[in-house]
């Protein structure tokens, strides 16, 4: 999609961000019912648009990450809603940073980025929702919450009726694959979320990044399979790296299994360490890897 393009799907307007919503931008959804209007994950894509932001009655956030709440500040006088498990991130900047769990000096640098580049504003009165909650917008338009943890504890999908649009949040179907590198991320939960998706049958799938909107089952199934396969690929590469020479988690993080070695990303090593420690823990539990001395691992 070209920059700042929109697509209408019944009651849903998909507002594409720059480069099709490529991070740090994103694709936001505006859902219009007879009685109310909601915006889902206001992103930098909305911030970049000229003119006044859309009039909405409330904000829905799929989870509490910087790129999904970057446009929340455009709507200071309406309620903000997020899953109860992520609600703490709206209470204060300190609580928001705990979701990432970065060590210094990455913590301080990213703290500034969250405020200056993503416009973080605390909102202690943010309202919690739970799995199965329904937001009625009137005229048969409603948004159902599907809790889908793993990326964060509270990460959620939104099913928009009557047009059967499923907003996938950060199950973004990208070639990068699933992200589970924060303190509040969980690989096993993410895998359960991915395993549950094929049982759902919407007519349209919308993502915050990259793909934007998919309209046919075959395309979705192919993209989901490619997205999920990244987890197994990372684990296979980790096993290969651990053959013959014991490695520490610091060495694993520097080697890079999530990001490319040439990517200049300040928070890459803590993300690598958190992500791959989860793989190591289950490989050790399954007997494929041994901890041959404290903190050093070798493929069995």
pLDDT score of 180:
98
Taking residues 39-48, what's their average pLDDT? Answer: 95
Give the CA distances from residue 51 to residues 7, 41, 297, in Å, rounded to whole numbers and listed in that order. 18, 19, 55
Which listed CATH number (3.60.15.10, 3.20.20.140, 3.10.150.10, 3.40.50.2300) goes with 6-226? 3.60.15.10
How many C-beta neighbours within 10 Å does residue 291 have?
12
| CA 160, chain centre distance (Å) | 18
Helix (H) or strand (E) holding 38: strand 37-40
Radius of gyration of the chain (CA): 20
Taking residues 191-200, what's their average pLDDT? Answer: 98
Q: Where in the chain is the domain with CATH 3.60.15.10?
A: 6-226
pLDDT per residue as tens digits for the range 93-127: 999 999 999 999 999 999 999 999 999 999 999 99
Inter-axis angle of helices 93-100 and 106-116, nearest 10: 120
Could you tell me the strand order of the sheet in which 247-248 lies?
Answer: 247-248, 296-299, 289-293
Tell me the pairing of strands 165-167 and 156-161.
antiparallel
pLDDT per residue as tens digits for the range 219-241: 999 999 999 999 999 999 999 99
Global pTM value: 0.96
Does the pLDDT value for residue 58 go beyond 90? yes
């Amino acid at each position: 999609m070209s920059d700042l393009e929109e697509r209408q799907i019944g009651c849903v307007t998909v507002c594409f961000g720059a480069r099709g919503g490529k991070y740090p931008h994103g694709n936001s959804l505006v859902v219009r019912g007879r009685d109310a209007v909601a915006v889902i994950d206001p992103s930098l894509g909305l911030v970049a648009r000229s003119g006044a932001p859309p009039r909405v009655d409330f904000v829905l956030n799929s989870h509490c990450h910087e790129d999904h709440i970057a446009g929340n500040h455009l709507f200071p006088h309406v309620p903000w809603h997020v899953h109860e498990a992520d609600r703490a991130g709206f209470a204060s900047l300190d609580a928001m940073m705990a979701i990432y769990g970065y060590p210094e000096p990455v913590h301080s640098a990213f703290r500034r980025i969250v405020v200056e580049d993503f416009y973080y504003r605390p909102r202690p009165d943010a309202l919690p929702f739970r799995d199965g909650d329904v937001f009625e917008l009137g005229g048969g338009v409603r948004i159902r919450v599907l809790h889908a943890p793993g990326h964060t504890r509270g990460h959620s999908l939104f099913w928009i009726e009557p047009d059967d649009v499923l907003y996938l949040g950060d199950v973004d179907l990208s070639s990068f694959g699933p992200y589970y590198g924060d303190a509040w991320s969980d690989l096993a939960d993410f895998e359960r979320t991915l395993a549950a998706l094929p049982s759902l049958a919407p007519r349209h799938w919308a993502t915050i990044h990259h793909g934007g909107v998919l309209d046919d089952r075959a395309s979705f199934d192919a993209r989901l399979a490619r997205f999920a396969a990244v987890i197994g690929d990372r684990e296979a590469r980790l096993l290969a790296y651990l053959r013959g020479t014991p490695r520490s988690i610091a060495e694993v993080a520097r080697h890079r299994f999530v990001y490319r070695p040439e990517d200049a990303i300040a928070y890459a090593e803590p993300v690598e360490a958190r992500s791959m420690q989860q793989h190591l823990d289950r490989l050790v539990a399954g007997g494929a890897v041994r901890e041959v001395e404290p903190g050093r691992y070798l493929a069995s």
